[in-house]
């Protein structure tokens, strides 16, 4: 199994794991804990209807970026924006016949249900497996059973009238007594997350089966849940005919040079020499204790263990980029700025980190436009992003979005303020005919418990996204989409991802690239026509993390994007991944950043169109040597990377092919069968060769004079 993509995003699952064990203990100790099929009525509070109207909001229609001239590069002069643009928007509004999406389905439910899991109680004590699955975002039936048990127990205690204080104390005690985490982590998790989880569970009309299918996804079955089934509405405009094949970008044409930074996870409390091998979600801090031996001490520039990025490493990387890449045209910054100490974060500290990193980026890259996207760690607690209808002062997300609007205003036009403050998403016309749309992917985050109240297009983001794309299509604009959580990742809610996938398919002629972070690895995701899986229609680039968390080298990406000229495609022409060897930096006392690979040269690709990436995916399936190169780059050439067997290979390539989350069976069957077939052939070849050697050892060999015969161990090499 590969290390965690977002280990600490699962803190809330520890809470459930503690409750799961509590359920098991309750059964074993014979305490009264009865599950019946009776459903008690629940007071379901309908969210306040939202009167926000997409079509009346201001839009960015003036090119925001003035390109600089660089040696050996040319860019065309800015052209006038489309004079008919506003009229087309008005026409779209007049022709709109579909009704708005409803926020709330008033169909009444019956109440709670509790599953009969007494016979499974003993399985819950496999804490090591549950903890591993939680940390690695790879959920199985064991984690599903634990989730159902914990959710059922918590709902039982809520129904029985226990107070919030009693529930949080119980959670912390079970977590500590069962050594799920250290006492201070257990206490912090209970205090930070308990109140939110209890608030939500008091108001939902879902049982443990539906709850855990929502949170875990595939690992917990595809449970039908009418409260979380919805569809976006498309305007009555026919989809343009698709091209049989996208044109290749012109050689030697003007281009944009784009920097992509993601998952900085700057830790202001990192201490060189502190314990890097602690038993908590984040180490390398003074609070982690003293290192037991020199090997357990945190390195000067970071550490491969569960440690985030020290300030000196962020400073060094930004200084290196500013010196090495002086001709950057703009920057994509896809979120996750705070560290992984999610059990003791505060809103104020997270805001300070946002302000400090924004100031740092502004100083290092003066005059260079930066287009940010919001990560899942910017909120406190982590993953907590209430939609606009949750507007109580003490739980509203306005504290974050209002500050983001202030900080991001350094780089973004004033016209985006209304959508940033509403939902931390925006659309900017970068150049004539070229737009960037930044999405808040936390509204697809299945660890965002607020979505249990109502997951129907939170903040109306996807409906707004369609409106922006349709307007761009009318204006012959090409669009790049940026965000944090990749839409095909297991952390993305299935129903949200399914709707997003449809949007990408509808506007495949408009969207020419997507850019995300979150996983910390160097990878990509494919999108296909839902009605024709042989037709790839979009590519999502998933940039490497700056943070080494964990077992990784720090890294960043450089993209070359088709620029301003008459035949521009706005496709990515090529990309480079740059890394710093953390082991050598700590050994020699100074980091050296270098280019790890260039996509087209490393993978022998003639272009980076969706069809080219699909071809590469097939080659990675069949060509083991090529896959091993991809695997090295995926791990940013980390010396701590594990070996990758056939199951690992299937999982990785399936991740590449699945731009739609929790739906692997539709995309991965051919990949898995090819890998299984290749593994079978390799095994048969090994077995046959071994059998042949055995026969030759027992069969008298004729004497051969003047031959080139050599022993088999010389020709083939010895085993081992």
Does the annotation place 535 within a ligand binding site?
no
Q: What is the rounded CA–CA span in Å between residue 553 and residue 313? A: 12
457: left (phi over 0), alpha (psi -120 to 50) or beta: left
Per DSSP bridges, beta strands 478-482 and 511-516 are: parallel
Among the listed residues 442, 457, 465, the one whose alpha carbon sits nearest the alpha carbon of residue 104: 457
Name the E strands within 246-386: 255-261, 330-333, 370-372
Place of tokens 């049989």: 244
265: left (phi over 0), alpha (psi -120 to 50) or beta: left
Does the annotation place 156 within a ligand binding site?
no
Neighbours of 599 (CB within 10 A): 23
Does the annotation place 445 within a ligand binding site?
no
- Give Cβ neighbours of residue 318 (< 8 Å, ≥ 6 apart): 360, 361, 364, 365
Does the annotation place 376 within a ligand binding site?
yes
Among the listed residues 276, 281, 269, the one whose alpha carbon sits nearest the alpha carbon of residue 298: 276
Q: What is the rounded CA–CA span in Å between residue 61 and residue 422? A: 20
Q: What is the rounded CA–CA span in Å between residue 133 and residue 365? A: 40
Does the annotation place 531 within a ligand binding site?
no
Structure tokens at 229: 């089934």
Burial (CB count within 10 angstroms: exposed 0-12, middle 13-18, buried 19+), residue 218? middle
DSSP symbols for 468-505? HHHHHHHTT-EEEEE-SS-TTSTTB-HHHHHHHHHHHH
Does the annotation place 50 within a ligand binding site?
no
- Give Cβ neighbours of residue 432 (< 8 Å, ≥ 6 apart): 63, 78, 79, 80, 81, 564
The full 3-state SS of 81-101, as one line of letters, equals: CCCCHHHHHHHHHHHCCCCCC
Does the annotation place 520 within a ligand binding site?
yes
DSSP symbols for 205-239? ---HHHHHHHHHGGGG-----GGG-------S-PP
**Percent of the chain that is helix, strand, coil (3-state, to 5):** 40, 10, 45
Per the DSSP assignment, residues forming a β-bridge with 274 are: 290
Dihedral over Cα of 540, 576, 521, 363: its sign: negative
For residue 547, the 8-state DSSP code is: S
Per DSSP bridges, beta strands 434-438 and 478-482 are: parallel
Question: Does a cis peptide bond (omega within 30 degrees of 0) precede residue 305?
Answer: no
Q: What is the rounded CA–CA span in Å between residue 51 and residue 48? A: 9
Binding residue numbers for Zn(2+):
263, 265, 336, 376, 484, 518, 520
Residues annotated in a binding site: 263, 265, 336, 376, 484, 518, 520
């Amino acid at each position: 199994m590969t290390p965690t993509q977002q280990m600490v995003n699962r803190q809330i699952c520890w809470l459930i794991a503690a409750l799961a064990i509590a359920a098991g203990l309750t059964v074993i100790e014979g305490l009264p804990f009865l599950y019946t099929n009776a459903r008690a009525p629940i007071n379901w509070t309908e969210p306040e209807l939202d009167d926000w109207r997409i079509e009346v909001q201001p839009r960015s229609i003036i090119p925001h970026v003035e390109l600089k001239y660089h040696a050996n590069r040319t860019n065309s002069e800015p052209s006038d924006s489309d004079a008919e643009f506003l009229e087309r928007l008005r026409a779209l509004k007049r022709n709109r016949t579909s009704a708005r999406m409803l926020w709330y389905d008033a169909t009444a439910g019956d109440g709670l249900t509790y599953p009969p899991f007494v016979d499974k109680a003993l399985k819950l004590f496999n804490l090591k497996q549950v903890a591993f699955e939680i940390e690695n975002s790879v959920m199985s039936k064991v984690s599903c059973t634990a989730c159902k048990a914990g959710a059922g127990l918590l709902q039982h205690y809520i129904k029985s009238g226990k107070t919030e204080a009693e529930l949080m104390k119980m959670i912390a005690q079970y977590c500590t007594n069962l050594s799920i985490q250290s006492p201070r982590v257990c206490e912090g998790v209970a205090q930070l997350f308990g109140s939110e989880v209890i608030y939500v569970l008091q108001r939902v009309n879902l049982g443990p089966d539906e709850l855990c299918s929502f949170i875990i996804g595939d690992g917990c079955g595809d449970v039908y849940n009418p409260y979380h089934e919805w569809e976006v509405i498309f305007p009555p405009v026919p989809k343009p005919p698709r091209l049989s094949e996208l044109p290749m970008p012109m050689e030697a044409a003007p281009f944009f040079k784009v920097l992509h930074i993601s998952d900085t996870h700057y830790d202001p409390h990192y201490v060189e020499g502190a314990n890097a091998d602690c038993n908590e979600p984040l180490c390398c801090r003074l609070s982690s204790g003293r290192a037991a031996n020199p090997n357990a001490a945190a390195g000067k520039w970071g550490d491969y263990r569960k440690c985030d990025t020290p300030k000196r490493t962020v400073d060094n990387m930004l200084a290196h980029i500013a010196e090495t890449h002086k001709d950057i045209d703009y920057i994509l910054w896809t979120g996750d700025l705070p560290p992984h100490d999610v059990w003791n974060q505060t809103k104020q500290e997270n805001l300070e980190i946002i302000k400090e990193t924004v100031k740092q980026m502004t100083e290092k890259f003066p005059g260079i436009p930066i287009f940010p996207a919001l990560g899942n760690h910017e909120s406190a607690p982590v993953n907590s992003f209430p939609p606009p209808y949750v507007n109580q002062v003490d739980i509203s997300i306005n504290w974050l979005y209002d500050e983001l609007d202030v900080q991001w205003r350094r780089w973004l036009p004033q016209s985006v303020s209304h959508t940033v403050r509403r939902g931390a998403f925006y659309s900017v016309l970068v150049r004539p005919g070229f737009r960037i749309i930044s999405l808040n992917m936390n509204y697809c985050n299945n660890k965002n418990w607020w979505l249990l109240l109502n997951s129907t297009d939170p903040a109306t983001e996807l409906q707004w996204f369609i409106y922006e794309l349709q307007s761009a299509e009318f204006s012959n604009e090409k669009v790049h989409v940026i965000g944090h959580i990749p839409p095909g990742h297991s952390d993305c809610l299935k129903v949200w991802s399914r709707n997003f996938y449809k949007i990408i398919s509808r506007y495949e002629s408009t969207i020419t690239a997507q850019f995300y972070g979150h996983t910390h690895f160097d990878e990509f995701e494919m999108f296909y026509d839902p009605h024709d899986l042989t037709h790839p229609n979009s590519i999502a680039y998933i940039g490497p993390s700056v943070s080494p968390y964990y077992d990784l080298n720090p890294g960043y990406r450089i993209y070359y994007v088709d620029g301003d000229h008459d035949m521009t495609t706005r496709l990515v022409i090529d990309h480079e991944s740059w890394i710093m060897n953390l082991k050598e930096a700590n050994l020699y006392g100074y980091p050296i950043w270098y280019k790890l690979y260039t996509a087209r040269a490393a993978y022998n690709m003639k272009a980076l169109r969706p069809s080219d990436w699909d071809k590469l995916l097939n080659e990675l399936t069949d060509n083991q040597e090529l896959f091993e190169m991809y695997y090295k780059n995926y791990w940013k050439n980390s010396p701590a990377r594990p070996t990758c067997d056939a199951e690992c290979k299937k999982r990785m390539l399936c991740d590449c092919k699945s731009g739609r989350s929790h739906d692997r069976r539709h995309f991965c069957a051919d990949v898995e069968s090819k890998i299984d077939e290749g593994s079978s052939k390799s095994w048969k070849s090994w077995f046959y060769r071994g059998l042949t050697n055995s026969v030759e050892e027992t069969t008298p060999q004729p004497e051969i004079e003047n031959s080139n015969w050599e022993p088999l161990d010389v020709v083939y090499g010895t085993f081992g």
